[in-house]
Amino acid sequence: MVPIQMVDLKRQYLKIKPQVDAAIQEVLENANFINGAPVQQFAQELQQYLGVKHVIPCANGTDALQIAMMALGLQPGDEVITPSFTFIATAEVIALLQLKPVFVDIDPQTYCLDPVAVEKAITPKTKAIVPVHLYGQTADMEPLMAIANKHNIPVIEDNAQAIGGTYTFKDGTVKKSGAIGQIGCTSFFPSKNLGCYGDGGALFTNDDALAAQIRMVANHGQSARYYHDVVGVNSRLDTLQAVVLRIKLQLLDQYITARRAVADAYDAGFAGIPQITTPYRAANSYHVYHQYTLQLNGASRDELQQYLQERKVPAMIYYPVPAHKQKMFANFGGASFQLPVTDTLTTKVISLPIHTEMDQDQLDHIISSVKSFLN
């Protein structure tokens, strides 16, 4: 059996090696390492894939979130509603810009923002809502957008884990995750469903004026070369990463299908086991399974993780300490937030390997190992 990894990027690369190697070699020969033609070609292709008017590439997913908040003109002291159960970057950029993170609880099934909790948290100082499409499932965007529109609050989608996912509205309209709010943000970190071979990110929007502002902020605040209208940052996707992403974007739907097949196998393998709650699939969301995360009931996840490690099965406990309990947010009133669902889930979830190259032998070994532990 091939050694099991959480994400097997080497095997994925080997399948596209000729295309990738040739594309990288072309960049090396042309020496257009920054803002080469492939960067804009990739942006245009991603626009078409997502069904948005503008894609603005940047250096990484954290920058994308920061640029989004800067482009919206958020000011120190403004409140930004976001979940605590997510990678720290989502809340970190809020604090970095001297905004105030307002952590709200999540839906116990999807692990995404609870719209009821969001509405309760809105104050006159609320200037943005940042839902996170966690583990590959789109948050419940229809009620979130209704709340945001009612209060005239922009929505920034953190789509780092769900690119390629979709959300279906009650009227039958289907939109890609990240293409619903005022701005969508994503990461192309290598392990993402659409990952490059270094760091990379992008922002999406259908608002022409906002797109212009995002481009300006991401490029030192320049409206024209050497004319700086606002304080900006230097954040760009390099050409080498763009050529890799162009190749992998053409395969993204295949990659998602492969991930969903792994999830199907896990679901079937763990069906009927009372100690396990498998990932919920919301009817209005097409789950792309960036992670496959079990919820354990009456079983120790630390002991399971150790047991799996002994059987050469990697397993990850993502976000064991939610953001509101991190030291970095102590001065933002982190301890004052009452998030019972978040606090419970962060002690119960564990993620199993899931990627595009998994084979049946690996799946059988993982499933039998988990069952063996529970028995």
Question: What is the tens place of the pLDDT at every residue in 76-107?
Answer: 999 999 999 999 999 999 999 999 999 999 99
CA–CA separation, 259 and 6 (whole Å)? 12
* Active-site residue, selected from the candidate residues 192, 248, 325, 371: 192
Instruction: Tell me what the mean pLDDT of segment 303-332 comes to.
Output: 95
Say whether 192 is catalytic. yes
The SS3 assignment for 368 reads helix
Residue-range domains of the chain with CATH: 9-105+112-245 (3.40.640.10), 252-374 (3.90.1150.10)
Strands 126-129 and 79-83, sheet pairing: parallel
Residue written as tokens 């605040």?
221
Q: Would you place residue 333 in the very low, low, confident or very high pLDDT band (cuts 50, 70, 90)? A: confident
Residue written as tokens 């769900």?
162
pLDDT of residue 289: 98
Q: Is 334's pLDDT higher than 90?
A: no
Residue written as tokens 């047991």?
307
pLDDT of residue 123: 97
Is 287:263 a contact under the CB 8 Å cutoff? Answer: yes
CA–CA separation, 149 and 249 (whole Å)? 32
CA–CA separation, 118 and 131 (whole Å)? 10
Instruction: Tell me what the mean pLDDT of segment 25-50 comes to.
Output: 96
CA–CA separation, 94 and 156 (whole Å)? 12
Distances in Å between the Cα of 98 and the Cα atoms of 82, 148, 157, 237 are 15, 22, 20, 26
Which DSSP category does 336 fall into? Answer: G
Instruction: Tell me what the mean pLDDT of segment 65-76 comes to.
Output: 98
Instruction: Tell me what the mean pLDDT of segment 11-17 comes to.
Output: 97
Q: Is 316's pLDDT higher than 90?
A: yes
Q: How many CB atoms lie within 10 A of CB 77?
A: 10
pLDDT of residue 57: 98
